[in-house]
Amino acid sequence: MSVFEGFAEETVDVGAVRLRVRHGGSGTPVVLVHGHPRTHTTWHRVAPLLARDHVVVCPDLRGYGKSTLPPDEPEHAQSSKRAMAGDVVALLRHLGHDRFSVVGHDRGALVAFRTAMDHPDVVERLVVMDGLPVVEHLERLNEDFVRTWWHWWFLGQTDFPAERVINADPEAWYRTRTPGPREIGEANHADVWAALRDPAVVHGMCEDYRAGLRVDRRHEEEDRAAGRQVQCPTLLLTATEDDIDVHGDPLAIWRPWVAGELRRVDIRSGHHQAEQAPDEVATAIGEFMRGTT
């Protein structure tokens, strides 16, 4: 994949799972964590820009892309953001980095958040792209949210597994949720669709949402009850054409979760910021990493 020219690609055993990862560049390390239904290639336009000043690490989350997923556990704990955050820390240590910054988009924003919460001695800076803590969504249920975010409930229920519907016709299910190759890049498009046609990946993505409605919510409730907060500087990147403001100002919602510096930058794009506005995204992340945002 020429867009990742100069990046190494490997599969790393981090204990419970094996993660596919691309990494390259030099400088202070930053890990970029994709969301649903993407793979690490969603960052193909941002990673080379950041690699001018940083070691950039782009993994497939467990259960996504070509990374593996352990057998199902009670409460879908094998797909919890706590488990995924542990994968991120183990991966970075394998690559020789004891401290790093973490950027997460969509479901990856939950992983980035959990990494900062569970490993405050490791995470130096946190960037959240179009995400809120799960509990903040679930405590604000209303008609607008349920109507527009209906896939949370479809993917997250277990009485009639969503996998049966999706795997019967992936092209029909994802046709309005995955832009074409011209917009997101030919190689990225091919990588995403290879994953979407893999029943094991579809199951992994559903398990991600099932964990979100159960064990992930419980972890956040425990954090809040204990008064735990993100200790590092935090940046929110909000897409102007997305609906992360469905519950109001996301900065105000995040404020109780962050102990210190918290900033927001609007990105002129739809939901998939890294594919639609890579220059803006890379600039905002780079300035934040330098402390100039």
Q: Does 107 have pLDDT greater than 80?
A: yes
- 271 pLDDT band, cuts 50/70/90, is very high
Predicted pLDDT of residue 174:
87
Structural domain tally of the chain? 1
Q: 229 falls in which pLDDT band (50, 70, 90)? A: very high
Amino acid (one-letter) located at 46 = V
Rounded CA separation 45/64 (Å): 20
Instruction: Report the Cα–Cα distance between both ends of the chain, in Å, rounded.
Output: 32
How are strands ordered across the β-sheet holding 262-267?
8-13, 18-25, 54-59, 28-33, 100-105, 123-129, 234-239, 262-267
For the segment 132-160, what is each residue's pLDDT rounded down to a tens digit?
999 999 999 988 899 999 999 999 998 88
Q: Tell me the residue range of the domain where 262 lies.
A: 2-290
At 8-44, the pLDDT tens digits run 999 999 999 999 999 999 999 999 999 999 999 999 9
Residue 79 sits in a domain whose CATH number is 3.40.50.1820
Cis peptide leading into residue 37 (ω within 30°):
yes
Tell whether the model's pLDDT for residue 83 goes beyond 70.
yes
Instruction: Provide the pLDDT confidence category of residue 190 given band limits of 50, 70 and 90.
Output: very high
**Residue 19 backbone dihedrals phi, psi, to 5 degrees:** -110, 130
Catalytic residues: 106, 271
Average pLDDT over residues 185-202: 95
CA atoms within 13 A on the CB side of 83: 25
Phi, psi of 102 (to 5 degrees): -135, 135
Average pLDDT score over residue span 248-255: 97
| Amino acid identity at 128 | V
C-alpha dist (Å) from residue 35 to 64, 106, 116, 181, 271: 9, 5, 17, 18, 11
Given a cut of 60, whether residue 276 has pLDDT beyond it is yes
Q: Indicate the DSSP class of residue 258.
A: B
Query: What pTM was computed for the model?
Result: 0.97
Supply the mean pLDDT for the chain. 95
Residue 218 amino acid letter = R
pLDDT band, residue 180 (cuts 50/70/90): confident
* pLDDT bucket at 178, cuts 50 / 70 / 90: low
Quote the pLDDT of residue 98.
Answer: 96
Query: In the predicted model, is pLDDT for residue 262 greater than 70?
Result: yes
The answer, yes or no, to whether the previous bond of 256 is cis (omega within 30 of 0) is no
Instruction: Give the per-residue pLDDT at 181.
Output: 80
